[in-house]
Amino acid sequence: MTDADIVVLRQKIHGLSAEGYAEELRARLPDRDVVLARTPAEERELLREASVATGLTVEEDILAEAENLRLFACVYAGTGHLPMDALEDHGVAVTNASGVHGPNIAEQVVGSILSFTRRFHVAWEQKRDRQWQSYQTRELQGSTVTVVGLGALGEATVDRLDSFGVETVGVRYSPEKGGPTDEVVGLEDERGFHDALARSEYVVVACPLTETTRGLVDANAFRSMPPDAVLVNVGRGPIVETDALVDALRSNAIRGAALDVTDPEPLPEDHELWTFDNVLITPHNAGHTPKYWERLSGIVARNLERVDETGAFEGLENQVL
């Protein structure tokens, strides 16, 4: 087996092969030996020598043999599935893929909002029926958009909404940090959060799933939203209480919803959410981009350049451990 500085573990994301990721890393790091592990045996053998590994996860039992491993670059933004305690015990730094999805998921959000604003689905239906008939639409300009979560996804979304002349409210854990929105309220500020919902035509969920955000958008939240509000969820399904969402849709308490994530997921084919004409459902597809490996390899390359400069696996971009 070839010695390796960087081991790319077996993985596929959005139909993109790990070979493409390895090629991007080789192009950015021509002085490093980048090796793709194609089998479990190759992963185990290569991890015994490599100082850097990148992939979906690394098994805890393999860590005991990976004596030289100093950095694990996770290809997901979320790291809750990783054996973080074991990685810390072995002195392995961990980074994630935060920000890689920013441009494409922000485009999905803006596209969803525009779809409900300009009602493109009506045009598609009329085209199918060869029907030339005017229909009512709305303007996005002057609307209020609340974005829950001002991480990489939320900031990218706000940046793209800026040119539409909307008022934006950001909701985050630490409102004292401010943000790119016209106003920022705290995630645990119930009064401020519900005030934002009450004046929003669009509510975008772009935050991670935590104990605080689980069930955040519940029946009480839907009661605060105006009847012309549209919910856009590109975060995680359980952040929105599904039964409460269905009740709100049944009673016309909101205008509609655009859901890239659901709870449960995948959404069963007999689930009631499929039956609503005012619900746009995409199969957790907002994260898909042909530039995934390009952006992720850029993060890894910049981090290794920093390691070369400092001699330490500290202060890295997207470092979570």
Q: How many residues does the chain have?
A: 321
Q: Any residues with CB less than 8 A from the CB of 247 and at least 6 apart, and which? A: 219, 222, 253
- pLDDT, position 88: 96
| 58 closest CA partner among 10, 13, 6 | 10
- pLDDT, position 1: 42
The SS3 of residue 34 is strand
> pLDDT tens across 215-270, in order?
999 999 999 999 999 999 999 999 999 999 999 999 999 999 999 999 999 999 99
Per-residue tokens: 155: 């900031």
| Average pLDDT value for residue range 296-314 | 97
Residue type, 172: R
Contact 158, 178 (CB under 8 A): no
Q: How wide is the angle at C-alpha 244 spanned by C-alphas 198 and 122, nearest 5°?
A: 75
CATH 3.40.640.10 fits 102-281, yes or no: no
- pLDDT, position 258: 98
Give the H/E segment covering residue 280. strand 279-281
Kindly list the domain boundaries of the chain, sorted by start residue: 6-100+289-310, 102-281
Matching CATH topology for 6-100+289-310 and 102-281? yes
- pLDDT, position 4: 77
> pLDDT tens across 79-88, in order?
989 999 999 9
**What are the φ and ψ backbone dihedral angles of 172, each rounded to 5 degrees?**
-145, 165
In the chain, the percentage of residues whose pLDDT exceeds 90 is 94
Using the predicted structure, report yes or no on whether residue 295 has a pLDDT greater than 70: yes
Q: What is the pTM of this model?
A: 0.89
Give me the helices (H) in the chain, please.
18-28, 40-47, 60-63, 84-89, 102-118, 120-128, 152-161, 190-198, 219-224, 242-250, 292-310
**What are the φ and ψ backbone dihedral angles of 279, each rounded to 5 degrees?**
-125, 120
Contact 181, 158 (CB under 8 A): yes
- pLDDT, position 3: 62
| Average pLDDT value for residue range 41-64 | 94
Q: Any residues with CB less than 8 A from the CB of 178 and at least 6 apart, and which? A: 184
Query: What amino acid positions are annotated as catalytic residues?
Result: 236, 265, 284
CATH class of 6-100+289-310: alpha beta
What is the residue-averaged pLDDT of the chain?
96
- pLDDT, position 12: 84
> pLDDT tens across 97-118, in order?
999 999 999 999 999 999 999 9
Measured CA to CA, the distance from residue 226 to residue 195 in angstroms comes to 11
Measured CA to CA, the distance from residue 62 to residue 7 in angstroms comes to 14
Measured CA to CA, the distance from residue 45 to residue 36 in angstroms comes to 12
DSSP secondary structure, 186-208, as one string: ETT-HHHHHHHHHT-SEEEE---
> pLDDT tens across 5-41, in order?
999 999 888 888 999 999 999 999 999 999 999 999 9
Using the predicted structure, report yes or no on whether residue 188 has a pLDDT greater than 80: yes
- pLDDT, position 78: 84
